[in-house]
Amino acid sequence: MGQISPQAENQLRQVFKSFNRFMLILWQLGLGTWFKFFPKVTGQVMVITHSGRKSSVKHRTPVNYAMVNGEIYCTAGFGARADWYRNIQANPDVEVWLPDGWYTGIAEDISSSPDRLFLMRQVLIGSGFAAYLFGVPPNMTDERLANLTENYRLIHIRLKEPRTGSGGPGDLAWIWPLATFILLPLALKRCKRGKCN
């Protein structure tokens, strides 16, 4: 993360937690593919399902990512303190929701990779507005990028198998037909009374 005060970082973390809950609901409603249409703004977004390191309870975290030569990379911008990062360190078996499907995978910290700066820049490009919000625009020099992302953790997720069934993206998509079934007759009734405008 760019150089900001601990208090500002804590506030930013709280904002992102709230925003992440909203994004997760969009994915559950089957709207995850919408992020593909505005990647320069929203960034490329996927959801990682990971197990709690102490509780083994499943958690879901939306993160920005980059696809490089068919491989997925993401970063823990809050460094090794990020809960989801600590969870995948304890148990690297994850699931990912991507705009084109749902997969099992293995997460690996590759922060010491010789390709770190190149891959980090690709993830920042894939982060849309978030990179600028965090104070790490992807067009900076290698030296500055290395300095500002020194504490970032770079993660490679190797996809294993596609998943299907319940518990994945779109689990709440049934709400759309139900809402239409309930609201459309009400709207038509209102129009009949001349209250459409």
pLDDT averaged per 10 residues, the chain (length 197)? 59 63 76 67 87 93 94 91 94 94 96 97 91 88 94 96 79 60 63 62
**Which residue type occupies 97?**
W
- Show the domain range for 72: 6-169
E strand or H helix at 122: helix 116-125
Query: Total structural domains in the chain?
Result: 1
- Give the per-residue pLDDT at 153: 96
Q: Is the alpha carbon torsion for 114, 122, 16, 165 positive or negative? A: negative
Torsion of CA 122, 128, 133, 139, to 10 degrees: 40
- In a domain? residue 52: yes
- Give the per-residue pLDDT at 141: 95
- Give the per-residue pLDDT at 164: 82
- In a domain? residue 87: yes
- In a domain? residue 188: no
- Give the per-residue pLDDT at 90: 96
- In a domain? residue 183: no
- In a domain? residue 175: no
SS3 91: coil
Supply the DSSP symbol for 166. Answer: S
- In a domain? residue 80: yes
Strands 58-68 and 71-76: antiparallel
Residue located via tokens 């809960």 = 83
CB distance 21 to 28 below 8 Å: no
- In a domain? residue 34: yes
CB distance 32 to 45 below 8 Å: yes
- In a domain? residue 11: yes
Regarding pTM above 0.75, the answer is yes
Tokens of 96: 């990912």
SS3 163: coil
Residue located via tokens 């992302």 = 149
E strand or H helix at 26: helix 6-28
- Give the per-residue pLDDT at 85: 96
- Give the per-residue pLDDT at 158: 97
Angle at 18 between CA 13 and CA 23, to 5 degrees: 115
CATH of the domain at 46: 2.30.110.10
Supply the DSSP symbol for 90. Answer: H
Query: CA 152, CA 19: separation in Å to the nearest integer?
Result: 20
SS3 188: helix
